[in-house]
Amino acid sequence: MQNLIQLLPDHIANQIAAGEVIQRPASVVKEMIENAIDAGSNKIQVIIKDAGKTLIQIIDNGNGMSSGDALMCFERHATSKVRKADDLFALTTKGFRGEALASIAAIAHVTLKTKRAENEVATKIQIEGSKVVCNEACVSSEGTSFEVKNLFYNVPARRNFLKSDNVEFRHIVDEFERVALAHPDITFTLHHNEQEIYHLPSTVLRKRIVNILGKNTNDRLVPIEESTDIVKINGYVLKPEFARKTRGEQFLFVNQRFFKDSYFNHAITKAFEGLIQSKLYPGYFLYLEIDPSKIDVNVHPTKTEIKFEEDRSIYAILFSSIRQALGKYNIAPSLDFERETSFDLPMSKLKEDAIEPVIRVNPEYNPFQSFNAQKSSSNKAYSSAINAQGFGKKENSESDWQSFYQIKEEEVTADTSLFDLSSVKDISNSFAFKGKYMITACKSGFLVIDCARAHERILFDEMHARFISSPIQAQALLFPVEKEFSKDEKVHWINSKTILERLGFEGEFEDNILHLSAVPASLQEESSHPCIDMILEKISYKDVDKGDLAHLIISSVAQAYGRQKSRITDESAAQHLVETLFQSEEHAVTPQGKKIIQTLTLEELAEKF
Ligand code: ADP
Ligand code: MG
């Protein structure tokens, strides 16, 4: 009988191996960045399109490869890192299995450009489904660039199995953050669809953590340092009060390699016993250094599981060093490289109930003095606007009013004082126009007040006054509002979480979806989406500092509230609005600098006739 067993052709063997090593675009990113690190690079650029489904490009400035190696690197079990079996027990490199490139080349279209310092020209190799389709000399700078396109193009089952771009990109960011945290001395950048997501300059560990997790993380880190014959540990844990409901901020490294380990995680969690609630997870960034011969990295194709010869001792050392550091921290706060103090309130204060705000009124305030003297450009614009819009004609359409008000969109930077409070003859003489504007007589003419903006100013002042002394009252939503965030927006939201919670926003993330369970009491549920959009727009600028952050969030809430209250139908509400507005020192402009009040003096009116 004929023999049935045959050796698999290489390209099939490679595809099978790819199934183990390359599960999704993020696996390619991980393997390629690791190769770049092994090549001694100090700058690594990651460029992604469509969550890696269209393009993954990794550019490094490492050693590069000779033209022979450039071809060889795609062979299975081709590696420059292990020569003999013993090397496996003294690994100082990330890679050693010689599988990644062969696997990737079997299931994608790959272009490699690489150049060593000692070579005149670079080598370019294109490979598709394990077949070399181009091998030529080219011009390129020192180092290596890998472009991986159409991942899983010949493995439809894998391609169809991929999740949404948001989910796949989150996996890429996770891998990127893990290597970036393991190598703070290397500069990393990450671009997605032409947008820069991360730019991480070479730095020290603490700053790298802060650059990734946000400025306010700096205040939350407790340093851990321990040196024994078995293991050296350094890094940080997050102060117990910043423990979270999800495992997001748990990073464990050994010899600069990220790994997961439930046994060690248990030791760390145990060190926090009594300091955090049992349902919460402590945050940590811990780096173990161990003799490579005492660990086995080769237990899993993706190398995130590692066997430790002396795991029991390491467990005990981890536990005691963290426990000790937490004890020390309770007595003396940690030394920070850049301590921020604004809005740092003691925990006991945070628990107090909200108290009514005191609205500051300056009885001496007499802005009217400057009113007549001041013929600002906005006044001129306003006069010409009334001419153009035919203000004063008997029938004013609403659109006339709207375009009239567009003039006010310009930022008010000049003196914002417009009139004397005492000159408002009789507030009860106010009336609402089309539900959007209030018209009130004053000594020298009359005022038109934009109701939405008046509401915005009033709520802003109120929240601002209240927020400084105690948290803003939150209102639980009957049904949590769901909102999808980009990875970047999520990072900004999480970084601002303490202040957001203090201002009444409560919610948890499930992947990139925020389940918002409470909003500031003044907001209606339907305003929460636009309000979050406004907040994200404002906080997504890099380097918003803590003081500005509260201001930006409160101004977004006030803006959303203003829009929600843009129509006034009830006359008594209108009177109340005018009265309350005039109690504010800054009744003339919104926190965004938009005019709330327009005036028309008798003289200006006379000119119209
Ligand atoms: P491994 O990393 O396990 O050795 P890989 O398949 O990832 O296997 O890579 C194969 C070989 O290709 C590496 O051993 C290395 O010699 C070479 N190589 C891969 N990427 C780079 C790079 N960015 N710069 C220089 N050499 C590289
Ligand atoms: Mg490798």
Element (H, E) at 350: helix 347-350
> What ligand is nearest to the CA atom of residue 77?
1
Alpha helices in 90-249 (DSSP H): 100-106, 156-161, 165-182, 205-213
Closest-CA residue, ligand 1 atom 23, reads 36
Q: Which chain residues have CB less than 5 Å from ligand 2, an ion? A: 35, 95, 100
| Cβ-contact 154, 74 below 8 angstroms | no
User: Quick one: pLDDT band at residue 62, thresholds 50, 70, 90?
Assistant: very high
Rounded Cα gap, residues 152 and 168, in angstroms: 14
Q: Is 76 in the pocket of ligand 1 (CB under 6 A)?
A: no
Residue 539 has a pLDDT of 79
Q: Would the CA dihedral through 51, 257, 325, 270 be positive or negative? A: positive
CA of 159 to the centre of ligand 1 (A): 25
**Distance (Å) of CA 519 to CA 352, 422, 479:** 18, 38, 12
What does the block give as tokens for 459? Answer: 């709520």
Tell me how many degrees the CA angle 82-86-87 measures, rounded to the nearest 5.
Answer: 30
Residue among 219, 228, 255 nearest 319 (CA)? 228
- Give the best-scoring range by mean pLDDT among 285-294, 445-454, 552-561: 285-294
> For residue 454, how far is its CA from the centre of ligand 2 (angstroms)?
61
Ligand 2 centroid from CA 399, angstroms: 65
pLDDT value of residue 465: 75
- The chain-wide mean pLDDT, for the chain, equals 79
Burial class (CB in 10 A: 0-12, 13-18, 19+), 247: exposed
So what's the pLDDT on residue 395? 37
Say if ligand 1 is within 6 A of residue 31 CB.
yes
Q: What is the mean pLDDT of residues 428-438?
A: 75
- Highest mean pLDDT among 134-138, 261-265, 405-409 belongs to 134-138
Q: How confident is the model at residue 422 (pLDDT cuts 50, 70, 90)?
A: low
Quick one: which atom of ligand 1 is closest to the CA of 102? 6
Q: To test ligand 1's pocket by mutation, which of 20, 27, 35 has the most ligand atoms within 8 angstroms of CB?
A: 35
In the reported structure, the alpha carbon of residue 74 is separated from the centroid of ligand 1 by a whole-number distance in angstroms of: 9
Kindly state the tokens that stand for 312. 């029991």
Task: State the distance from the centre of ligand 1 to the C-alpha of 566, rounded, in angstroms.
Answer: 62
Residue located nearest, by CA, to atom 7 of ligand 1: 100
pLDDT tens sequence across 4-49: 887 777 777 777 766 677 889 999 999 999 999 999 999 999 999 9
> Is 62 touching ligand 1 by the criterion CB < 6 Å?
yes
